[in-house]
Structure 1
Amino acid sequence: MLNLHNTDQIKSKLNTTTHPCYSSKAQHKYARIHLPVAPACNISCNYCRRDYDCVNESRPGVTSKVLDPEAALERFQIVRKKLNNLSVVGIAGPGDALANWEKTKRTLELILQDEHENNDDCHSEINFCLSTNGLLLPELAEQIVALNVRHVTVTVNSIDPKIGAQIYNSVNYHGITYTGTEGAELLIRNQLEGIKKLVDLKVLVKVNIVMIDGTNDSHIPEIVKKLKELGVFTTNIMGFIPVKGSVFENRKPTDPKNIMKMRLICGKHLQQMSHCKHCRADAVGMLGKDCSGEIFEIRKKCKNHVEAG
């Protein structure tokens, strides 16, 4: 039996060539599956609203349904048989992977065990990936690595608490809610500490930055410089998308031209991702070519949104 806590039994190769988010070339060849097992979130962002049951939206935080770990394993097994180019299993919400740690952990344990028991040379090696806001990273970094996760994406929108206070409505840390600069400062401190821990543990860290005009846009180069100091692999500067029902619903979306300009500026300091597709929490297939509708029965119309959490 595989000992999930014995890292000698777990492959630790850092693979970017088969991870479509970490390699622009890989996006044209390899597929990924996102398993929506993490509904709750421990921070409240002014640009975010997490909805279920909306197949017509393609953005983070959206899924048709939330799965328990056992159902997630079954979904993985089905996709594994259908897609020989599947190379990544990711947990990207619809909330925060670490805020739902027991569910996230159980899901990864089940898939690791399944992969160990059904090793098939016909399939590509699977990379395990998590997305998080980073609030709980300092205390969970070692456990993440013990589960063979070698790729982690952290969303960092500010390293200045005053700017962060304009983006984050609240931060819930171990049952205590913090707001304003106090909440932003706590989140930023944990994000930076957690990222450094992951890098020291040989994890490839990608950082997403949501570019919000008039809020953090001029601050982004400073963020990127700090992330370079920490050893981050790449940053993904994403455009802000107005979401109905969010605090920022009436703001204008980020101009793609401004995003490209910012990537050029920040590319002088750190490698930039430029092929992000704003994937859903239940995405299946290659980037920009979701095939979940071909594999699973997907509803054609959205019902009333139900906020996750």
Structure 2
Amino acid sequence: MEAFAVTEHPCFFREAARRYGRLHLPVAPACNMECRYCSREYDCPNESRPGVTSQLLTPEEAAARVAEVVKKDPRIRVVGIAGPGDPLANTATLETLRLVHARFPQLIKCVSTNGLLLADYVLQLKAFGVRTVTVTVNAVDPAVGAAIYAGVRWRGAVYRGMEAAALIWSRQAAGIIEAMRAGLRVKVNAVFVPGVNGHHLPAVARAVAALGVHMMNIMPLIPLAGFAHLAPPSPKEIAFVRTVCRQYVPQMDWCRQCRADAVGLLHAADAGKHAYCVT
């Protein structure tokens, strides 16, 4: 069966978002980083934000879910794993990709990760059909990153503060480089935290552009957890930062900040019917 073109990925190509859909498989509950904006403590079927799912799936259940959804909706082009934790911190991710790729080789496989372990798994990801990767890079300056990341677990040790932030960016850069070398298409997500990294996002754009990243997606903060006291950036603030960052790397401005179990189209006209949970 002929593989779908990567240009049919709705999160990488604007026109694809109007025609093609994606399916996120919630198989990865564990995480190796503590981000101050992250909360996975509650779930509502009508809530759309990263890290939320109504049900965790085993790899076998996930493969069955793909079969069910693809049969019902031929517009599905992408099977992604984006949580609810970090995909590469969970062995279930690779097993899920293996099972899905064996049954549905034509579908585009996608992983969204914090990048800490990306360099270690690029070749396995590619072998299991992954063609696109999204890495969340919120800071390249350890002083800024230390305000966003509470800590990181890396090779049996826990790091905090600027040491953790420096480690995170170094591993993200290494992972992006390896992914680019393997021929994967790479997008970078960045959470815009007002008063913390808003001024710093152009530096992030310059840094990831130098690594060859194809696209950047600046997402507004959803005030939760350690940043619950902050207001999200205004549309005007986001538009301004995107304009500045667009000088260095193309910008995605149609993101829906999808759940870990999202299914269907991203386009605004269909979001209410398709963009939420699969259960």
2:81 to 75, 91, 112: 91
Q: Percent identity?
A: 45
2:48 match: secondary structure: coil
2:55 to 65, 71, 75: 65
Could you say which residue in structure 1 is the equivalent of 2:227? 248
2:237 to 258, 261, 279: 258
Could you say which residue in structure 2 is the equivalent of 1:224? 205
RMSD over aligned CA atoms reads 2.0
Return the offset for 1:10.
10
Q: Does 1:110 align with 2:91?
A: no
Q: Does 1:200 align with 2:169?
A: no
**1:63/1:94 contact within 8 Å kept:** yes
- Structure holding more helix per residue: 2
Listed as ranges, the gaps of 5+ residues in structure 2 are none
Could you say which residue in structure 2 is the equivalent of 1:274? 253
Could you say which residue in structure 2 is the equivalent of 1:3? none
Return the offset for 1:254.
1.2
1:62 match: secondary structure: coil
Could you say which residue in structure 2 is the equivalent of 1:130? 111
In structure 2, distance between residues paired with 1:128 and 1:140: 14
Indicate how the Cα distance of structure 1 residues 292 and 267 shifts in structure 2: closer, same or farther if over 3 A, else same: closer
In structure 2, distance between residues paired with 1:184 and 1:10: 42
In structure 2, distance between residues paired with 1:10 and 1:84: 14
Deviations 1:244-295 (A, max 9, x none): xx11111111111110111111111111101000100000100152646999
Deviations 1:15-58 (A, max 9, x none): 44210000111111001100000001100001111135421311
Could you say which residue in structure 1 is the equivalent of 2:25? 35
Deviations 1:110-153 (A, max 9, x none): 1111125xxxxxxxx41100000000112111111111101000
Indicate how the Cα distance of structure 1 residues 191 and 31 shifts in structure 2: closer, same or farther if over 3 A, else same: same
Could you say which residue in structure 2 is the equivalent of 1:122? none
1:78 match: secondary structure: helix
**2:265/2:275 contact within 8 Å kept:** no
Summarize the alignment of residues 35-54 of structure 1 with structure 2, pairs less than 5 Å apart.
35-54=25-44
**1:284/1:291 contact within 8 Å kept:** no
Listed as ranges, the gaps of 5+ residues in structure 1 are 1-8, 117-124, 299-309
Indicate how the Cα distance of structure 1 residues 131 and 224 shifts in structure 2: closer, same or farther if over 3 A, else same: same
2:262 to 283, 286, 291: 283
**Greater radius of gyration (CA):** 1
In structure 1, distance between residues paired with 2:63 and 2:28: 14
Return the offset for 1:85.
0.8
In structure 2, distance between residues paired with 1:18 and 1:255: 30
**1:131/1:153 contact within 8 Å kept:** yes
In structure 1, distance between residues paired with 2:136 and 2:67: 29
**1:241/1:254 contact within 8 Å kept:** no
Indicate how the Cα distance of structure 1 residues 103 and 211 shifts in structure 2: closer, same or farther if over 3 A, else same: same
TM-score by length of 2: 0.94
2:226 match: secondary structure: coil
TM-score by length of 1: 0.85
**1:284/1:290 contact within 8 Å kept:** no
In structure 2, distance between residues paired with 1:54 and 1:180: 33
Deviations 1:199-255 (A, max 9, x none): 111100000011111111111111101111101000001111102xx1111111111
Deviations 1:183-213 (A, max 9, x none): 1111110000110110111100000011111
Indicate how the Cα distance of structure 1 residues 279 and 294 shifts in structure 2: closer, same or farther if over 3 A, else same: closer
Q: Which amino acid aligns with 1:259?
A: I
Indicate how the Cα distance of structure 1 residues 52 and 113 shifts in structure 2: closer, same or farther if over 3 A, else same: farther
